[in-house]
Structure 1
C-alpha cells in the first residue's frame, strides 16, 4: 500500500496542487526519507506514525547536523501529506497536525554592490563587442541579455529558462513570467535589459534549431537553455569583478531586491516583482537594507 499511497500523493502534488517539479521532487523525497526511518526503527509504515515518532524523526535529523531549512521543509512535507491522506480517507488520522517546524534563521548571501553589478554587465558587453559575427557573437549577446534580464527583473533562474519569445512585451517594456504554482506575473525591464534582449533576439536564429521551439534563450546546441549553463555564466561574469562575492542567479535576485528598496521602492511592489506569495518573505530585504544603512552610518558619522 505504501508505494501506491506515495504515488497517489505525488500525482496530487503535480495535478491538484500544481506544485513545481522541484517541490514535488523534494516533498516526495522527504516522505521516502520518513518511510525509511519508520522501517529502520521498527516503527511500522507511514500509516502507523504518530506525533511522537515524527518528532523523533526531526530530532534525529537535528542530531545529524541537518540544516534548519531542511528540517522545516520535511516537517511541512509531512503535514501536507498527512492532511491530504486524512482528508481523502486514505488514512484514519492525521499525526502531523501538531507537528511544528523548527524556526529558520533568515539569512542572505553577501549582497552585490550596485557598482559591482554595473562592472559585471559592462565587462560582458565589452566582451561581446569583440566578437564580430557568427554563432559565437550570438552566444555572447545571449549571455549579456541573460545577465541583464536576471538583474533587471529579479526573476528566478527557472523562470528565465522557461521564457518564450512571446513572453516579451517590448512596447510596454515588460516580461510575462510564469512562476511558482504556475502563476503568471508581469515584471518591468529597464532600457539596458530591453536593448540587450532585442540584440540577442536579432541573432537568435544563428543558434536556434528545430528543438528550440519558442524558447527565448537557447543553448549552443539549439535547445532551450539549461539552468546549469545560466548558473555557470553568472558565476563567471561576477568572477571578473574585483572583490565581488561569488554569487549565482539567485544572488542577482537578492541584489535586485535590495537595490530597489535602497532606491526607495515600496515593499509591495518588490513583493509583486519577485513573485512572493507572502510579504513576510520580502521583508527580509528591508533588514538587509537597514543593516547596510547602519554600517554606513557607523563608519561615517563622527558621533556614531
Structure 2
C-alpha cells in the first residue's frame, strides 16, 4: 500500500524525492508504533485518539513541533489518499491540532562586519555583497541569477528561490550599473 502511495506522491502530487522519503519514513515510524501499542492495528482501524497518543509521545520524546507537525501531515496525507482511492471514508487525522512552532530569526552577519566587507571589496564581490545585503536574496539565488532575469528599466530581479518558487525583488539603479561595470 505504501508503494502505491509513494508513486502517488511522486507522480501525481509532484512531491520531491526528499519530501516523499520523509513522508514514508514518518508513516513507517507511525506503523511501527501502532504495531507495538495496538494489537492487530491496521490503517483502517487506527483512530484519532491513536494519532493523538502517538504525537503526544513524540513530543514527550523531545521531538520538535515542526517534525511532529510534518509527521501528522504525512499521516493525514495517507488517509486522504485512502479516501481518494475509495479504501476508507474517514480521515482520523483530518482535524488534528498542530503543535505551535516557535519562529526564529535567521542568522545574519553583524552590520559592522557587512559594512567592512563591502568597503574592502571590489568588482563582482562588491556587487554581490551589496545585492545580498540590500535585497535579502540567498547566495544560491544570487548564483542562479542570469542576465535575462534582470529588468534594468524597473530594477527588478526575477529570483528562482527555494522550492523552485519564483519571486521578484528590487534593487537600485546604482547596483545595476555596478553590475554592468563588473561584468
TM-score higher than 0.5: yes
Aligned to 2:95: 98
Structure 1 residue 175 displacement after superposition: 0.4
1:167 aligns with 2:164: no
How many matched pairs? 179
For the 8 Å contact 1:2–1:46, the answer to whether it is kept is: no
Unaligned runs of 5+ in 2: none
2-structure distance, mates of 1:80, 1:154? 34
Aligned pairs for 1:12-91 (under 5 A) are 12-14=12-14, 21=16, 25-26=18-19, 28-42=21-35, 44=41, 46-89=43-86, 91=88
Question: CA-atom RMSD, angstroms?
Answer: 3.2
For the 8 Å contact 1:30–1:77, the answer to whether it is kept is: yes
Structure 1 residue 107 displacement after superposition: 2.2
Pick closer, same or farther for the CA change 1:147–1:55 going to 2, 3 Å: farther
Unaligned runs of 5+ in 1: 130-140, 203-304
Structure 1 residue 48 displacement after superposition: 4.7
Pick the structure with more helix per residue. 1
TM-score (norm 1): 0.49
1-structure distance, mates of 2:155, 2:61? 49
2-structure distance, mates of 1:146, 1:49? 54
Secondary structure of 1:186's match? strand
1-structure distance, mates of 2:93, 2:155? 47
Structure 1 residue 167 displacement after superposition: 0.7
TM-score (norm 2): 0.74
Aligned to 1:188: 170
Alignment counterpart, residue 133 of structure 2, candidates 146, 151, 163: 151
Structure 1 residue 97 displacement after superposition: 0.7
The superposition leaves residues 99-147 of structure 1 with CA deviations (integer Å, 9 ceiling, x where unpaired) of 1110112222465554443223223x1xx46xxxxxxxxxxx2x44443
2-structure distance, mates of 1:147, 1:90? 55
Structure 1 residue 191 displacement after superposition: 4.3
Q: Which has the higher contact order (CA 8 A, sep 6+)?
A: 1
Pick closer, same or farther for the CA change 1:111–1:83 going to 2, 3 Å: same
The superposition leaves residues 190-249 of structure 1 with CA deviations (integer Å, 9 ceiling, x where unpaired) of 34542453345x2xxxxxxxxxxxxxxxxxxxxxxxxxxxxxxxxxxxxxxxxxxxxxxx
